[in-house]
Structure 1
């Protein structure tokens, strides 16, 4: 282009010496200022918060081992997620001797869907009419002792209609449905998992009040499986996006909104993960076989994990509050 040579840096006249020195001094001051700002940012990061991801899904499992309910916001209580009358694992199926039933023993439990409205819990399943159970049960209904992993909670019996419905659907031994009420005895995970604290408690959940898994960890696992599985095989409460695979293993303390969660341990994964949530059929090997091939616990924690591979993290609730999908997840830097 004609005349373009006039804009070439090589054609610029030399700067006067004083002006050149002044520009160098300004550049030096700017560099120092940027260095100070970067150092300040690093100090703030070390002593505060670092965003590690974003909440992409929240899931409540009102009846232990039955289908979950996806919600956009939830209250985080000391016993887990809650939205209205739906509280995480506040209902459970028990055997006649009080032992809490899991899909490990009855895989078809995962086919039972749950809704809650107008003060009633509604259960639906293939080939069954919907049964409705009042959330607030009559005080005359008996209170049962409910045992899981050698530690007991309490629950109020939901009545004969609910018991008959569950027993008919599973076509097995007689079962009862119970509901945990907030003034009842809770289970203490420390009784079978020493990495928990004496103050940690749950209703009918296996261990932690909150289970968190990242989408990246799930994608990494699925990339190694011949048949892809859903994240609901692992039944998380909080799903996080925007981080690296298994980065959640390093989140000892996190903040979501005003909610503070303290990590206790990675979740030991059992045969429940082999149950297809869509069919209720348990696979013979996967995903446990693949997980065991590369996911190992710390040798010092072998007594807690035994042969179960770690996947996802279990948290205790240090500060309650409300969280919602889209909330940033911050790692608390001590």
Structure 2
């Protein structure tokens, strides 16, 4: 009798407290409807209030973000002595209090969304302005009065996010990265793709097909394939862009290749955007936490990338 195929497992977890700045690899993280706790709660904006990202400001990749170790304990509440610490080449460290709420600033824009946010103050503004060489502010999502829904064309319900590009979770498999690296002259690390959940123990690009999975008893819905911008071409250690992996992905992972009868033939896809079905009753029965080593059970999937939403 053949033994059952082992389920894939979570191999790494990442949070990105400030949009487009360096991520933090963690062993566990609390779940929230807007993503892993602390993920993309902050964004740097320019003088017009528009989000600064690595697409235009690749130096953001060099901004290191540190959180207190206890910040990932479930039900953690920051105090006046709880700080996020930022470091960058040529800059003094900057401390951002996790509990203090500054004045509200209006007309903050991330892609299609515009709303209010908490201004993190003049010191943070000067720090990022000096580092990027242009007027900037650091702002935090105003969760007290703002809600940013995900695209209703792809997923219904009350799913929402903070300052991510569009969805609260991005999942990738190690096998997909390995398959890509076999085609590249110089292998690249996973940080080029900035996932939240990295899994291993499946076939390359299996995640393309997953429409519902369960991790630690929690149900996640695969919403749409993740179309990639120029950020994966930026070396996250140097902030310098090249031509890869986009050049290779255009030959192997473009819409023309994996979805020939669909629109967006010139986009490249790598990873699956997901939402947590936090309104499920099962979500109330467990500690709301996932961790490295958790099994990933595939409950529903489509038969090919042609059938996947994108």
Q: Which TM-score band (shorter chain)?
A: 0.7 to 0.9
Question: Which residue number in structure 1 is paired with residue 33 of structure 2?
Answer: 78
Q: Distance in 2 between matches of 1:68 and 1:290?
A: 25
Once residues 67 and 327 of structure 1 are traced to their aligned partners in structure 2, the CA distance between those partners, rounded to angstroms, is 24
1:167 is aligned to 2:129:
yes
State yes or no: 1:149 paired with 2:116: no
Q: Is the 8 A contact 2:211 2:300 kept in 1?
A: no
Structure 1 pair 306/158, CA: closer, same or farther in 2 (3 Å)? farther
How much has 1:282 moved relative to structure 2?
1.1
Structure 1 alignment gaps of length 5 or more? 1-33
CA 1:107–1:251: 2 relative to 1, 3 Å: same
Of the three residues 194, 210, 226, the one matched with 1:251 is 210
Are residue 215 (structure 1) and residue 215 (structure 2) matched? no
* Aligned counterpart, 2:46: 95
Partner of 1:109: 60
Instruction: Give secondary structure in 2 for the equivalent of 1:190.
Output: coil
Alpha-carbon contact 2:101-2:118 (below 8 Å) kept: no
Aligned to 2:88: 125
The offset of 1:142, in angstroms, is 2.5
Superposed, 1:55-66 pairs within 5 Å as 55-66=10-21
For 1:325, the equivalent position in structure 2 comes to 292
Does 2:23 align with 1:68? yes
Give the Cα–Cα distance (whole angstroms) in 1 for the partners of residues 249 and 85 of structure 2: 35
Residue aligning to 1:261:
220
Say if 1:153 and 1:184, in contact at 8 Å, map to a contact too: no
Larger Rg: 1
Q: CA deviation at 1:216?
A: 0.2
2:245 is aligned, of 287, 297, 302, to 287
Q: Higher helix share goes to which structure?
A: 1
Name the CA shift for 1:189/1:306 in 2 (closer, same or farther; >3 Å): farther
Are the equivalent residues in 2 in contact too, given 1:144–1:157 (CA < 8 A)? no
| Aligned residue in 1 for 2:160 | 201
Cα deviation code 1:143-181 (max 9, x no counterpart) = 33321222224310000100100011112x200000114
Query: How many residues are paired up?
Result: 278
Task: Name the CA distance, whole Å, in 1 between partners of 2:192 and 2:104.
Answer: 33
Looking at structure 2, the residues matched to 306 and 99 of structure 1 have their Cα atoms a distance apart, in angstroms, of: 28
2: distance between equivalents of 1:244 and 1:250?
Answer: 11
Residue 300 (structure 1) shift: 6.3
Q: 1:271 aligns with which of 215, 226, 230?
A: 230
Q: Can you list the C-alpha shifts for 1:201-228, whole angstroms capped at 9, x where unaligned?
A: 2110001110000000000001101121
Supply the distance in 2 between the matched residues of 1:198 and 1:268 (Cα, whole angstroms). 23
| Residue 238 (structure 1) aligned with residue 197 (structure 2) | yes
> Structure 2: 5+ residue runs without aligned partners?
69-80, 302-310
